[in-house]
Structure 1
Amino acid sequence: MTDTPQTLTGLSGLLADQAAVLARTMGSPMAAPDYLDLVRRARDVDELAAQVLKLSVQQSRDAGHTWQELGDLLGVTRQAAFQRFGKPIDPRTGEPMDKTVRMTDAAERATAIVTAVLEGRMEEARRSFNSQVLEAFTDQVRGDGLAAVTGLVGEFEGLGDGEPFVRRIGDHTVVDIPLNYEAGEMKARVAFDTDEKVAGLVVVAPDTP
């Protein structure tokens, strides 16, 4: 996509134009090669819609609306809304905090580590732990934690259907992985530190922010 005006009015107008073109394209007979062009147009509309949503949230905050109101509107918690759209200031530097996820393989690594822990392959999992987690995450801690989860939702049945959710929180890259149990759903949360080592690993309820 080319550069677009970074104003809500400009982006909204461009979104409307591109959505109209997409609608006309979808309504026309297409030969097989045209489907790739349709995907490109849909991708551009999706990217523009994300920018419009982000600016709309920012302007709503500037107008005095709370994260609770925005979370309710978006169907998420106020913390989840803040994590997605907020612009926190690092108290150590006074500068905006970097929310860019630089671990391109975070989802894959987290999934492999969680699977190893749940299946009891702790020697494999511990290769990814930082020194603090390596010391604290003993076999007894693992057993007690999994027993507590089993008491809530029964036996582990496998990974959930959803995709892992990756984001940057402070200095950590955090990944939530859906899990299926016999009587409900949970999610594993893995936090990687700046050295890309595991700084935390827990199993929590699926609606935990």
Structure 2
Amino acid sequence: MDELRKAQAAVAQARTRLTQAVLAARAEGRTWADIGKELNMSRQAAFKRFGEPVNPATGERIVARSITSLRERTEKVFALIAASEYDDLGLFMHPQTAQELPAELIADTWRSALSEVGTLEHCVDTSLELPGGAPLADDEQIIGTVVGSTILECEAGRLQGRVAFDEQSRVVGLLIVPVDYEPLPF
């Protein structure tokens, strides 16, 4: 267990060093595009992860939020869909998204998917990422949209399930596609 603790401490140190290096690069005049390119992510993804945006109306810094619960929430969304518990699912959804993705549409899409792969058994390899695919650690602080991605293990096959969450952790997008589907819209 000592090795685990040491490795976890090293990861935390590396994140701190990376953040400090990004801030130093910004102080030297590097653009978000430069930083994103160096980190193999888009400039927007770099900004969302390391930027310090300011609310133009108030001049106050916009504070990043914790995303620790979004991995579990991603799996919960698909469990609710699989159980046809659309009223409970609606509690997680942004009101506009709930209008654009009514329960009937979600149910029809789910039935269509299940006709190919059978009943959902469980979710595996659930992860969090920025739109565009840059991976996130569960304990990162982030501003804006976060995507929960999971593999839906079904009785006769696998699907990829994706949930886009807004800055208040409400569902703003759902996607159910074959595991190797490309390109992903979010």
Q: Which TM-score band applies after superposition, normalised by the shorter structure?
A: 0.5 to 0.7
CA gap 1:178/1:78 in 2 versus in 1, 3 angstroms: farther
User: Aligned pairs, how many?
Assistant: 164
2:48 is matched with which residue? Answer: 83
The correspondence for 2:7, drawn from 42, 56, 69, is 42
Deviations 1:150-196 (A, max 9, x none): 6xxx76976452423465435x7x44223459698563223363xx6
Matched, 1:123 2:87: yes
1:55 is matched with which residue? Answer: 20
Identity of aligned residues (%): 21
The AA in structure 2 aligned to 1:98 is V
Q: Alpha-carbon deviation of 1:61?
A: 1.8
1:161 is matched with which residue? Answer: 125
Deviations 1:19-63 (A, max 9, x none): xxxxxxxxxxxxxxxx42x33333322222111111111111222
The correspondence for 1:70, drawn from 29, 35, 38, is 35
**Which structure 2 segments of 5+ residues have no match?**
130-137, 177-181
The correspondence for 1:200, drawn from 172, 182, 185, is 172
The AA in structure 2 aligned to 1:50 is R
The correspondence for 1:176, drawn from 138, 142, 148, is 148
Determine if contact 1:88/1:97 at 8 Å carries over to the other structure. Answer: yes
Instruction: Give the secondary structure class of the aligned counterpart of 2:172.
Output: strand
| TM-score of the aligned structures, taking structure 1 as reference length | 0.58
Q: Find the aligned partners of 1:188 and 1:130 in 2 and give their Cα distance.
A: 12
Instruction: Give the secondary structure class of the aligned counterpart of 1:202.
Output: strand
Q: Find the aligned partners of 1:66 and 1:147 in 2 and give their Cα distance.
A: 46
The AA in structure 2 aligned to 1:60 is A
**Which structure 1 segments of 5+ residues have no match?**
1-34
More helix by share: 1
Instruction: Give the secondary structure class of the aligned counterpart of 1:96.
Output: coil
Q: Alpha-carbon deviation of 1:208?
A: 5.5
Determine if contact 1:192/1:200 at 8 Å carries over to the other structure. Answer: no
Matched, 1:190 2:153: no
Instruction: Give the secondary structure class of the aligned counterpart of 2:34.
Output: helix
Q: CA RMSD in A?
A: 3.7
Q: Alpha-carbon deviation of 1:127?
A: 3.5
Determine if contact 2:75/2:150 at 8 Å carries over to the other structure. Answer: no
| TM-score of the aligned structures, taking structure 2 as reference length | 0.64
Larger RCO: Structure 1 or Structure 2 (Cα < 8 Å, ≥ 6 residues apart)? 2
Q: Find the aligned partners of 2:40 and 2:152 in 1 and give their Cα distance.
A: 22
